[in-house]
Amino acid sequence: MSTSEQQQVWQKAVEKSIAKAPERKHSFRNSSDIELERCYTPSFEYPGYQDKLGFPGQFPFTRGVQPTMYRGRFWTMRQYAGFGNAKESNERYKYLLSAGQTGLSIAFDLPTQMGYDSDASMSRGEVGKVGVAIDSLADMEVLFDGIPLDKVSTSMTINSTASILLAMYIAVAEKQGVTPDLISGTIQNDILKEYMARGTYIYPPKESMRIITDIFAYCKDNVPKWNTISISGYHIREAGSSAVQEVAFTLADGIAYVEAAIKAGLDVDEFAPRLAFFFNAHNDLLEEVAKFRAARRMWGKIMRDRFKAKDPRSQMLRFHTQTAGCTLTAQQPDNNIMRVTLQALAAVLGGTQSLHTNSRDEALALPTEDSVRIALRTQQVIAYESGVADSIDPLAGSFLVESLTDKIEEQAMAYINKIDSLGGAVEAISRGFQQKEIQDSAYAYQRSIEKNETIIVGVNKFTIEEKAPEGLLKVKEEVELNQKATLAQMKAGRDAAKVAATLKALEGAARGTENLMPYILDAVKSYATLGEIANVMREVFGVHRETVVL
């Protein structure tokens, strides 16, 4: 297809998109009254334009996954939040929504992520610390009290217990009178990166992949608007990887999930349109923009050529971005506002579908309301005042950006080919390949800081004498005591026989081959706790032991 033919196809897609959702303005003009075109293309012969760039919303999606991108509507502004108990977090969510946030992003505490109730010995000292504590459906009812789940899109950063939290969300929606086909959002549900970079896994890879593909199958039929997985490069980058490694290891994990789903009997075009990705936005603005563009192009080719996906939605890499927590400094924390601004700008120039901006004080404690508001306002200023959202893929055609896009794709594909030669992502992780690559990259970066080859403003240059910070948000110890008391009260009031029956049924399904989601949902509705449900599967599936790489 020639460039002009591509442009005609794109123009028809634009007209269809505008008919469904008009652009934000009739005409986009800058301060000099110059009208900005929807999408700029070369006025000369550009070698490889059709194959490498194309038009927004068309294969290979280098320039974006929607025909009109942010001229239609902005990315979802989704601030990641959660701490203490469900009531405190509910108040924070309502505050963020009132401040202009357009989607929720739920942070869970470590016990919830690891499948332990708040009264478990393993939970001691961690309840409500890095996210909200959720022990049962009763907590989820409080967490979303007064928040209409048919109108708000919710992202949940949860992996090994994703099936349980999704079941709780479905049950809460039903209690609100909202049927599962009307709810929308995302569960992270990406266990492979937990094995290589983050560590909140429970079960061995084979059993974890079964749970994930069961979620794919269940949501295809029952929760069609739900993104069933957010394949995450974010934590890979936080662990110290390079931009190339982040793309390569994330897409390699995506390949593994697609293969597992196909092996489980699903057609690629039945589940692939609901796959989503989650990337980090780091400080090097141009490298990050190129990274996002390269990742989109690579995934389009992988899905079309490797998996023969026919539906264009199956070929689209839709992604959420979070600014880089690992770049935030405890020294001169106000400098973090500038870092986050650059990172957010990179995400927008790179075409993200939703964005979380970190707060200035997160290297010190959970963010205060003032800090969260500044982080959200950063997105809003970029959206409404910077002009970068008024034309699609505005850095396209830059010699530097196009060269970086090509080189990141080339180097990331070399990594994917290496992982394929090792037997795929799961086998490579079991050998410790990705872990060692990330560790080596993290070590090299830290050494460059210590040798002053890499400058971190306020850390190894431009330092000042600083006072101890004041007004930081701390989770009080009473949160754990109160959560345990609430849990005990809930257990005392539930139907113990019904709980036992649903857990027994779940055990039987786990030992067999049935889809686990209906059984998990039944257990959740009986007010079985997250820990009780996770323990049933621990008993059947066993637990994973980490591969140590030296």
CB 278 within 8 A of CB 155: no
Neighbouring C-alpha atoms within 13 Å toward the C-beta of 147 = 28
- Class of the CATH-defined domain 81-451: alpha beta
How far apart (Å, rounded) are the C-alpha atoms in residues 280 and 234?
4
Q: Name the β-bridge partners of 76.
A: 354
Q: What is the maximal distance between C-alpha atoms in the chain?
A: 74
- Strands 104-107 and 80-81, by their bridges, are parallel
How far apart (Å, rounded) are the C-alpha atoms in residues 535 and 213?
20
Given its phi and psi angles, is residue 515 left (phi above 0), alpha (psi -120 to 50 degrees) or beta?
beta
What pLDDT sits at residue 43? Answer: 81
Domain positions in the chain: 81-451, 490-541
Residue whose tokens read 């790179």: 350
CB 104 within 8 A of CB 155: yes
What pLDDT sits at residue 325? Answer: 96
What pLDDT sits at residue 419? Answer: 98
How far apart (Å, rounded) are the C-alpha atoms in residues 317 and 253?
14
What pLDDT sits at residue 470? Answer: 82
Q: Name the β-bridge partners of 470.
A: none
Q: Would you call the peptide bond into 60 cis, given omega within 30 degrees of 0 as the criterion?
A: yes
pTM of the shown model: 0.92
How far apart (Å, rounded) are the C-alpha atoms in residues 141 and 178?
13
What pLDDT sits at residue 82? Answer: 84
Across the 550 residues of the chain, what is the mean pLDDT of every consecutive 10-residue run?
86 94 94 94 85 94 97 90 89 90 90 97 94 97 96 94 98 97 95 94 95 96 95 96 98 97 95 95 97 98 98 97 97 97 98 96 90 95 97 96 97 98 96 96 97 96 91 85 97 98 98 98 98 98 81
Residue whose tokens read 């075109």: 37
